[in-house]
Amino acid sequence: MPGVVVVGSQWGDEGKGKITDYLSSKADVVVRYQGGNNAGHTIEFNNQKYALRLVPSGIFSGNPVVLGNGMVINPKALLEEIKYLNDANINTSKILISDRAHVILPYHLEIDALQEKYRGDKNIGTTKKGIGPTYVDKYARIGIRMGEFVNEELFKERLAEVLPLKKREYPELDFSVEGIFEEYKEYAKIIKPMVCDTALVLDEAFENKKNILFEGAQGTMLDIDYGTYPYVTSSHPGANGVCEGAGVGPVMIDEAIGIVKAYTTRVGSGAFPTEIEGEIANTIREVGREYGTVTKRPRRIGWFDAVVVNQSRRMSGLTGISLMLLDVLTGVEELSICTAYTLDGKVIHALPSTISELDRVQPVLETMPGWSEDITTVTSFAELPENCKKYLHRIEELIKCPIVMFSVGPDRTQTIVLKEVF
């Protein structure tokens, strides 16, 4: 009864959508366990490109998909996404939403924007989707959960309780209970049939020896505890988030696959030790189409950072990685890999905990010759150019984890599987 988790192992945008799409064809259930519509998963097949934010990639295989209790869900965004999928003739009748997932309401979005404004030049660079403020309410025990949201009476009651508290905190908020209720109760009616205790669904699936795929959003460097705090998201994108965010136990995870770009990118503010600027960065950005799916912001570009991926391996107990966007590096004459950092002259192999130290770390880089051959049509490891093979081997050695898949282009067919996980 394999449970497989796929996690972004850098700062997000590693191409998880593509791998979860591939693996979901072998899974019976696909589950998202954290985050919300701050995520943007792009999936391409049959010359069509789909962008998902909330709905797990498994939706394209026609299997049940679960939005777990660890998620924060904007009902309006969810319904827009469902409409977008239906317009593309994708069946959305098997979406299940945890009754314990928290609901993002308009004041959360407003608070996100206000907080960013007040932080000034120390702003996080959030997606402004209300993610952080909704998790804040969850832990402050004033959140509204799906189970309450879809019960009209309860929803109104909770809203009347919570909104005054939020207004006391943020007097700028210009919302009324009636205003939100009248609009959102209509969304709740449509969502209601999808809401249930999804942990029970997963337990039954495990009992029946079904394949379960847990789909992480964002990346482990954005983890609220182990990421580059405070420039992080407010959840646990790694395998460490599965138990709390899906309502399952740790023994239900057999494999943890880290999705890793062949280089590194980051959106938003915060430390980025291997960041590069200039011609190579611009080329990688254009070839790799490195612009945010949600916010369209240009992504910052950097060399492969083994310190980052090793941290992800430790946090998630990675059993393998899928190396993405390898083709984007074709034509870069000399590649650099970060093997360690120096902090105030001392070599270190893990990310320090404070942002002030993170800002001071310098990457220890080694260089390798690149390759110029087109690799977009290769179908096996053996067909890769020698320098490319060496690059992959060096990465495996540094991160102490095997490459089980690699990707040489956006299409489904351009994923080369070296080891099946289901």
Which residues contribute to the site for ligand IMP (CB under 6 A)? Answer: 11-13, 38-40, 124-127, 129, 131-132, 217-218, 222, 231, 233-234, 267-268
Q: Shortest gap between Cβ of 130 and ligand IMP (angstroms)?
A: 8
Q: Shortest gap between Cβ of 60 and ligand IMP (angstroms)?
A: 19
**Between 127 and 407, CB nearer to ligand IMP:** 127
Strand 41-45 vs strand 48-52: parallel, antiparallel, or unpaired?
antiparallel
- How far is residue 266's CA from residue 327's CA, in Å, rounded to a whole number? 19
Q: Shortest gap between Cβ of 30 and ligand IMP (angstroms)?
A: 17
Q: Shortest gap between Cβ of 128 and ligand IMP (angstroms)?
A: 7
**Between 309 and 375, CB nearer to ligand IMP:** 309
H or E stretch including 3? strand 3-8
- How far is residue 109's CA from residue 305's CA, in Å, rounded to a whole number? 33
Give the chain's end-to-end CA distance (angstroms, integer).
9
Do 27 and 213 meet the contact criterion of CB atoms below 8 Å apart? yes
Nearest to 75 by CA among 49, 53, 51: 53
**Between 53 and 100, CB nearer to ligand IMP:** 53
DSSP category for residue 155: H
User: Which residue, judged by CB position, is nearest to ligand IMP in the bound state?
Assistant: 268
- How far is residue 184's CA from residue 186's CA, in Å, rounded to a whole number? 5
**Between 297 and 393, CB nearer to ligand IMP:** 297
**Between 58 and 132, CB nearer to ligand IMP:** 132
- How far is residue 34's CA from residue 51's CA, in Å, rounded to a whole number? 18
Name the active-site residue from 21, 41, 99, 102. Answer: 41
- How far is residue 216's CA from residue 225's CA, in Å, rounded to a whole number? 16
Both structure tokens of 209: 């020896």
- How far is residue 312's CA from residue 306's CA, in Å, rounded to a whole number? 10
- How far is residue 357's CA from residue 418's CA, in Å, rounded to a whole number? 38
- How far is residue 232's CA from residue 126's CA, in Å, rounded to a whole number? 9
Q: Is 41 a catalytic residue?
A: yes
Nearest to 323 by CA among 367, 268, 388: 388
- How far is residue 358's CA from residue 108's CA, in Å, rounded to a whole number? 30
Q: Is 393 a catalytic residue?
A: no
**Between 219 and 363, CB nearer to ligand IMP:** 219
Q: Shortest gap between Cβ of 196 and ligand IMP (angstroms)?
A: 26
Q: Shortest gap between Cβ of 9 and ligand IMP (angstroms)?
A: 12
- How far is residue 3's CA from residue 155's CA, in Å, rounded to a whole number? 35
**Catalytic residue positions, numbered:** 13, 41
